[in-house]
């Protein structure tokens, strides 16, 4: 069963955030506007059975106390976001409260959540198990860490070499990642220290995790998530998973690397996942604006494929990559801005058109992602005009 709309009222700093989902949904907005809170509650709304079962299996106890549950699920201290008299939650227009029941049997996950804190899951070059985290840490971080650890541990996945791997991701995507993030280096498992860890081979040496670039440390956990979600061979999707939620995909990454992450997002969409991302990156919206613009043009299929692949600077892409990338033109993309409104509470607004000519500055300014740069440009223009040189 797929869902199309999720609304929160009076939860934490959120006054009202009402999001209609597309195939790809993007949340933008200043810091601390509740994007992560919204996404975590959304994940629970559709995956409560599997999340509750997992939490119970790891010994977490909440005794049907909602605030206790939210402290365990969202992180210590977050229980207070739910106001017993005022907070409301709606899924597809139907009001409900977070389900706290633990099912008796395992339930497969419908969501795959990659949290913003993903670089923290690696300690000494290996993802930490769920139980090694503090009870105060958010479930999303703990579970992603456990998931990544299980994935690497499983001999079935043959993860001795993590990147590059023939057959994992399309060749054009691998080339993009190499160009943007790895620059000819390889990531593989190493046991020379007496324990397994991921190391980066550059030249003759093998570099430990904490010595990688920030972008590489942020990116590799995301890459492992993608491997799980994009299995090779004839399997197109991870069984049962419908929704992929990626927080702050641009964290620590150069714009070229951000584009390479987005190429993987297009592949997720092509495989039929519904994808939700949160971002502060104007480059993500740049890309989505470009895709929307191309979508609206009267062009041959070949030209459309060339246009989309051109956005990623992929020369001579294989047919399968061309198809999977240009399929994004058939997808519904929704973009929502979360920001503080009057009354000091966060409201949402759909800005999907990203029309630079819109009278609505939230739309034309891309929710503020371009606004600050515009202020800077205008100031420069003023002073250039004033300068004696002119």
Partner 1 sequence: MKFKNAVNDSDVFKGHCKDGLKALKGSDRNLVKAVDSRRISGSLDMDEAWRIEYPNAPRWDYCIGYDLNGGEVVYYLEVHPAETSEVSSVIEKARFLRKRMPLDAHSLWDIRRSLVWVASGRINIPPKHARKRKQLASEGIKGPERLLTLGK
Interacting residues with partner 1 (CB under 8 A): 282, 286, 289-290, 293, 356-357, 359, 364-366, 369-371, 373-374, 376-378, 380-382, 384-387, 390
Shorter beta-carbon distance to partner 1: residue 203 or 296 = 296
Cβ at position 98, least distance to partner 1 in Å = 38
Shorter beta-carbon distance to partner 1: residue 96 or 372 = 372
Specify burial of residue 221 (Cβ count, 10 A radius: 0-12, 13-18, 19+). buried
Shorter beta-carbon distance to partner 1: residue 342 or 387 = 387
Cβ at position 349, least distance to partner 1 in Å = 17
Cβ at position 380, least distance to partner 1 in Å = 4
Residues paired with 349 in a beta bridge: 337
Cβ at position 28, least distance to partner 1 in Å = 13
Shorter beta-carbon distance to partner 1: residue 319 or 357 = 357
Helix, coil or strand: residue 300: coil
Shorter beta-carbon distance to partner 1: residue 315 or 387 = 387
Shorter beta-carbon distance to partner 1: residue 184 or 374 = 374
Cβ at position 253, least distance to partner 1 in Å = 16
Q: Which helix (H) or strand (E) holds 289?
A: helix 282-295
Cβ at position 389, least distance to partner 1 in Å = 9
Kindly give the residue spans of alpha helices, DSSP state H, lying in 154-281: 171-177, 214-229, 255-270
Specify burial of residue 122 (Cβ count, 10 A radius: 0-12, 13-18, 19+). buried
Q: What is the DSSP letter of 281?
A: -
HSE-CB at 206 with a 13 A cutoff on CA atoms is: 13
- In DSSP notation, 111-170 reads EEEE-TTGGGGEETTEEPPGGGS-TTS-HHHHHHHHHHHHHHH-GGG--SEEES-TTSS-
């Amino acid at each position: 069963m797929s869902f199309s709309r999720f609304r929160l009222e009076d939860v934490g700093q959120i006054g009202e955030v009402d999001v209609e989902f597309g195939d790809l949904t993007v949340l933008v907005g200043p810091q601390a506007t509740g994007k992560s809170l919204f996404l975590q509650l959304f994940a629970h709304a559709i995956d409560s059975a599997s999340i509750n079962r997992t939490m119970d299996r790891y010994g977490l106890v909440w005794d049907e106390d909602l605030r206790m549950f939210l402290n365990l699920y969202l992180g210590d201290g977050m229980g207070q976001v739910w106001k017993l008299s005022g907070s409301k939650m709606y899924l597809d227009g139907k009001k409900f409260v977070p389900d706290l029941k633990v099912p008796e049997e395992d339930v497969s996950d419908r969501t795959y959540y990659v949290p913003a804190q993903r670089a923290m899951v690696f300690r000494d070059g290996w993802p930490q198990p769920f139980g090694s985290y503090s009870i105060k840490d958010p479930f999303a971080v703990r579970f992603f860490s456990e998931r990544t650890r299980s994935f690497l541990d499983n001999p079935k996945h043959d993860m001795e070499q993590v990147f590059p791997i023939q057959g994992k991701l399309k060749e054009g995507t691998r080339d993009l990642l190499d160009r943007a993030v790895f620059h000819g280096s390889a990531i593989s498992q190493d046991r020379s220290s007496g324990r397994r860890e991921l190391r980066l081979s550059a030249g003759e040496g093998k570099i430990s995790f904490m010595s990688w670039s920030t972008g590489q440390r942020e990116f590799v956990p995301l890459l492992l998530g993608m491997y799980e979600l994009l299995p090779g061979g004839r399997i197109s999707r991870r069984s049962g998973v419908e929704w992929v939620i990626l927080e702050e995909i641009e964290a620590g990454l150069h714009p070229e690397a951000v584009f390479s992450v987005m190429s993987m997002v297009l592949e997720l969409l092509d495989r039929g996942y519904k994808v939700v991302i949160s971002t502060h990156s104007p480059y993500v919206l740049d890309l989505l604006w470009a895709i929307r613009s191309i979508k609206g043009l009267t062009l041959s299929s070949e030209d459309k494929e060339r246009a989309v692949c051109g956005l990623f600077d992929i020369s001579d892409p294989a047919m399968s990559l061309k198809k999977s990338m240009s399929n994004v033109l058939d997808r519904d993309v929704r973009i929502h801005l979360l920001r503080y409104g009057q009354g000091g509470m966060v409201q949402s607004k759909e800005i999907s058109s990203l029309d630079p000519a819109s009278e609505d500055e939230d739309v034309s300014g891309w929710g503020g992602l371009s606004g600050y740069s515009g202020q800077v440009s205008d100031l420069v223009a003023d002073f250039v005009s004033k300068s004696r040189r002119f």
